[in-house]
Copies of this chain bind each other. A is one copy, B any other.
Amino acid sequence: MPPSEKQTLAATRGAAFRIASGSAIAVINTHGSQVVDTWAFCADDIDHHLSMQHTRAHTTQLMPMTGSILYTNRREPILRIEADTSPGIHDTLIPACDRWRYELLGHVGYHRNCCDNLQEALGALGLRASYVPAPLNLFMNIPVGPSGGLSFEAPVSKPGDRVVLRALRDCIVVLSACPQDMVPINGANLTPMDVEVALIA
């Protein structure tokens, strides 16, 4: 299905999109190595939202894949991964970056971060999350070793790779082009990049 609207999500920024049940949103990794933190909130209740722990329990997978249904904190379907042209490496384990993350990494002063991007994006719709759920980190590469060890690695996606998320109920999808430039999760050159977003009827 061709995209009906396309827009740029600037590097290090967030944006919120109202998606009606049955419509979809495509997240396009224009340059190939940008992680996109992704949340979804039910349109009728901001406290009812996409939940990584509930999604893991119901998919019985660490990482959702094409066809996976994603669940809320009340165990209801909210999104389906309709398509994924990337190798399918995404993350459900790691929280959104926040000011404390950058402080611990040694950054001095304010650093843009995905938690603040979430609230800014919701704020543009007159909303505020009462807390920050664990995001679906699209394209984020956190390999799990045989003994459960985790590491923060560069994405394995390619320029133009896209993930299509189909809404299974009216919801607000929030995306953040992760501003992380101190560890290589947005690629070895530590440079956050723009991504494109297409809204699909």
Chain B CB within 8 A of A60 CB = yes
Q: How large is the interface on A (under 10, 10 to 19, 20 to 34, 35 or more residues)?
A: 20 to 34
Chain B CB within 8 A of A43 CB = no
Chain B CB within 8 A of A150 CB = yes
**A149 / chain B contacts, CB cutoff of 8 Å:** 60-62
Chain multiplicity (copies): 2
A sample of 21 inter-chain contacts (CB < 8 A) reads: A53-B134, A56-B93, A56-B94, A56-B150, A57-B94, A57-B150, A60-B151, A60-B152, A61-B149, A62-B93, A62-B144, A62-B148, A62-B149, A62-B150, A73-B132, A74-B100, A93-B93, A130-B130, A130-B131, A131-B131, A146-B146
**A residues adjacent to B (C-beta < 8 A):** 47, 51-54, 56-57, 60-63, 73-76, 93-95, 98, 100-101, 104, 130-132, 134, 144, 146, 148-152
